[in-house]
Structure 1
Amino acid sequence: MKLGGFVALLLVYTSVLAQNQKLGVILDAENKEPIEFVDVYNKHGNTLTNADGAFFFISRLDSITAYKVGYEKLKTTFGELTDTIYLKPSTYKLNEVVLTNTKTLWDKVKDSIPHHYLFSPFKERFFLRCLLRKNGKITRIQDIEGKLQRKTLIYRKGMEASKKDFSFEIANMRKIGLEKDENKVYFTFFSLSELLFETIRLNATGEGFSLIEKEFANENKGKVFFQSDTTLVGLNTSGHYIINNDTKAIEAFVMQSKIDRDNFFKNGPIRSRTIAVEQTVNFSRSPKWNKYFISSAKITYTVEITHIKKPFKDVYTSEYVLKTYDNNEDFPFNSNTNATKDIFKLKYEYDPEFWENQNSLLLTDEMQDFIDSFDSKRNPFKSKRKNRN
């Protein structure tokens, strides 16, 4: 071997050894439950905890931070980090305020919107996980990684929304699962554009809602709880906003809706209706741009499906987890997919090397068990289970 080649190989090997790695789980310090959507990061990288609270993070830097809005921030190093990490929930001040006028909330944020959110086109990288359950059991999993371009982050008055406001460049994709079930029911996923529209539906106030505001004791943020009242027949909606008192910007939005209405959609002999919706959207501020971006989001729809001739009633739950990063950065972009097509109908070549090394979002144990149930020779969603030492 020539000396130059040996030196190059040595440098690569040394670079790999220099990487700090951590596979761990993050739990709530009070109830010991897993915390989803914890950002684990430093200046050179970031990852996100899954529904099990698990994460896998690699970095050349020794520093590491774990943070989720509503919890105390943890700053430490790889060497000091244990396999199980406990985050303390933020505590509230004793006082709470009942907001009798919903304008009280929006007065806090409306003036900040032009200053803290982008209303012009920008690009970002994304990771998307789509999951389908039938009667509680997983039937489909799909992961997509790539780039996206938005016309705007949030739509304000006078801006018209269109499906053409989003374009995507898929770089990697994997999927596994059933298209149709034994009753020949095909559950339609959102399109990529529809999904992004869903993540920016953030208004859950107005007539028919009561609001209570609480302030955090250990950080300058407020939590505004909302609850629908009896005027909204057949709809029970609750949740909260977390608002940064310094910037007056929304940093998190969480909503749950239970729906009991005879609003069946008819498709031939099949009848379907949405009976529950859950939404979580987390924002983070880029120190480089001094703007807020959606860092992560989760949308869950629960749908009841029946048949006019067959005696079955199935409940499907579709779940979409979105992570974005490198927001508003300048990188090449080439749209290569139909943003208005059912996500599960999209096709892209499977790259095993990418999926073996990605750490954007780990598979949960439940997901891994579902994947392992398929014949390994025909499994298009190959992935090794990561175990903590």
Structure 2
Amino acid sequence: MNTKFLILIVLLSQQLLSQNRLKGIVLDQQTKEPLEYADIYNSENYTSSNEDGRFIFISNNDSLNIGLLGYTTLHSTFQEQNSDTILLHKKVQNLEEIVINSNDNLLKSVLDNFTNNYPLNPYKERFFLRSVLRRNNKIIQLVDLSGKVERQTLFSTKSNPMPKKNYSVEIENLRKAGIKEKDIEFSLSPFEELFTNFNSIYMSPEIYNFKYIPYKDSSFVRLEFTPKKENSIYSTGYYLVNLEDNAFNEVSITNTHDSEFVERKKLKYRTTAYEVLVTFKKDLESKKYAIDKGNMKATVEVVPDDEEKIVYTVAYKLYTFDNFHNFEVNNNISLSKDIFRLKADYDKEFWESQHYLLLTEEMQSFLKMILNEENNDFKNITNF
């Protein structure tokens, strides 16, 4: 046998043997409820827990860290971790609510440091996006996309307005499956709208009152905002501010006011709930914050003529990584097109090996139903 070939086989075998793998679930230590968005990472690899709290983490590095904002980070190793159930402990602190006005120095300091803390110039990152559409609480569409994006700016400011073409997006992998409805066609958001909605987090002190509330982690404070006018249709929510650099680390925006019905052909519809949760992470080299995770959810009520009400719920989950890295981004999609209508070949090897965001049990059951060739109850749409 060729000596070089033999050495190569030996090296590959050693590399495979040295890989560490942990398949587990992250739970709240007290309630035993699953924790979504938990970070499982070391200096070389990174993944997150899904809605069920489940994850798979694979790394050649033995180090293992599991954390979530508001919880004490678990520092361990693959060798030491002898259970697939990870219990995270909430950080505890005596909290007292303090009401402040909108001209508080903290809020002003956050805005004064905005340019220093966030990228207002072009940068690139990789992303994973998942969208799930439910009709009357049952999944009817699932789409997963991975790729690269170049942003001209993360946020729009008075001195640095967002350009008309702020994004270039290259889709590298696409997995989609859905049921074709006979009566209604629900459109998912396009990339341009999605990215912009995740960026739209500014709440004007002219419109909102703010409450300063100490957080369970003393290095943060929570700024809750509510509309100044009673019975207003404006949103409510909070900023979680890092006191070390006066930057927003988390933003939550909720609007539960029913909008007016829009009538179209033989039906009418309205949005009854909308919420966005965005967390940010700081790049150690550039000292700038980029979006870490984004979760956006909307509920739409549809009333066809002489028929029962239909409730649609659409959720988008965005994860970014390799922020501020230098790589080519070749825009290969329409940024104004419904993301479910985008086309790309299904890469079986990629989707069977990616563990960045696992499918939940509900999603797995939906895909099995879609791919069941004997099921003729509906027409399916898929790129599988």
What SS does structure 2 have at the residue aligned with 1:56? strand
Residue of structure 1 equivalent to 2:75: 75
**Deviation (angstroms), 1:207:** 5.1
For structure 2, the 5+ residue unaligned runs are: 374-379
Which residue matches 1:333?
Answer: 329
Instruction: Report if aligned partners of 2:65, 2:75 keep a CA contact under 8 Å in 1.
Output: yes
After superposition, the Cα gap between the structure-2 partners of 1:92 and 1:227, relative to the gap in structure 1 and judged at 3 Å, is farther
Residues 70 and 217 of structure 2 are in contact (CA less than 8 Å); yes or no, is this contact kept in structure 1? no
SS in 2 for 1:164: coil
The aligned residue for residue 280 of structure 1 is: 277
The equivalent of 1:303 in structure 2 is 300
- SS of the residue corresponding to residue 189 of structure 1 reads coil
2:376 counterpart residue number: none
Please state how far the C-alpha of 1:337 moved relative to its aligned partner: 1.0
Deviations 1:167-207 (A, max 9, x none): 1111100100124x232x11111101100001012134545
| Matches of 1:259 and 1:40, distance apart in 2 | 36
Q: Does 1:195 align with 2:191?
A: no
1:237 Cα offset (Å): 4.0
Q: Which residue of 2 aligns with 1:258?
A: 256
Matching of residue 231 in structure 1 with residue 192 in structure 2: no
Q: Which moved more, 1:79-88 or 1:122-131?
A: 79-88
Task: Find out whether 1:244 has 2:242 as its counterpart.
Answer: yes
Question: In the TM superposition, what are the counterparts of 1:14-33 in structure 2 within 5 Å?
Answer: 14-33=14-33
1:53 match: 53
Amino acid at match of 1:356: E
- 1:32-181 matches, within 5 Å, as 32-81=32-81, 82-101=83-102, 103-179=104-180, 181=181
* TM-score, length-scaled by structure 1: 0.91
Instruction: Choose which of 274, 278, 294 in structure 1 pairs with 2:291.
Output: 294
Structure 1's unaligned 5+ residue stretches are 383-389
User: Does the CA contact (< 8 Å) of 2:278 and 2:294 recur in 1?
Assistant: yes
**Stretch of structure 1 that moved more, 47-56 or 88-97:** 88-97
- Tell me, in whole angstroms, the C-alpha distance in 1 between the residues paired with 2:303 and 2:255: 21
Q: Distance in 1 between matches of 2:362 and 2:106?
A: 39
Q: Greater CA deviation, 316-325 or 36-45? A: 36-45
Q: TM-score, normalised by structure 2?
A: 0.92
Displacement after TM superposition at 1:38 (Å): 1.3
d(CA) in 2 for partners of 1:243, 1:259 = 27
**Deviating runs (4+, > 6 A) in structure 1?**
none
Amino acid at match of 2:329: F
CA distance in 1, matches of 2:234, 2:152: 33
Measure the CA separation in 1 of the matches of 2:236 and 2:17.
Answer: 48
Determine if contact 1:134/1:314 at 8 Å carries over to the other structure: yes
* 1:353-364 → structure 2 map (5 Å cutoff): 353-364=349-360
Contact 1:125 1:148 in 2 (8 A): yes
The residue matched to 2:112 in structure 1 has which SS? coil
Cα distance per residue 1:305-327 (max 9 Å; x no partner):
122x3423111011100000000
Greater Cα shift, 84-93 or 111-120: 84-93
What amino acid is aligned across from residue 249 of structure 2 in structure 1?
Answer: E
Amino acid at match of 2:322: D
Deviation at 1:65, TM superposition (A): 1.4
CA-CA distance at 1:102 after TM superposition = 5.2
Q: What does the per-residue CA deviation read over 1:331-381, in whole Å, with 9 as the maximum and x for residues that have no partner?
A: 122111111111011000000000011011011111111111223469957
Amino acid corresponding to residue 320 of structure 1 in structure 2: Y
Let me know the Cα RMSD of the aligned residues: 2.1
Q: Tell me the matched-pair count.
A: 377
1:25 deviates by 1.0
Identity %: 34
The answer to whether the 8 Å contact 2:178/2:381 transfers is no
1:76-121 per-residue CA deviation (whole Å, 9 max, x = no partner) reads: 1112233111222222344331123355552131122111111111
Inter-partner Cα distance in structure 2 for 1:34 and 1:204: 31
Tell me the CA shift for residue 218 of structure 1.
Answer: 4.5
Deviation at 1:230, TM superposition (A): 6.2
Aligned mates of 1:217, 1:304 — CA distance in 2: 37
Q: Amino acid of the residue matched to residue 73 of structure 2? A: K
Between the aligned partners of 2:265 and 2:152, the Cα distance in structure 1 is: 37
TM-superposed deviation, 1:31:
2.0
The 2-side partners of 1:289 and 1:224 are apart by 26
Which one is further off, 2-11 or 287-296? 2-11
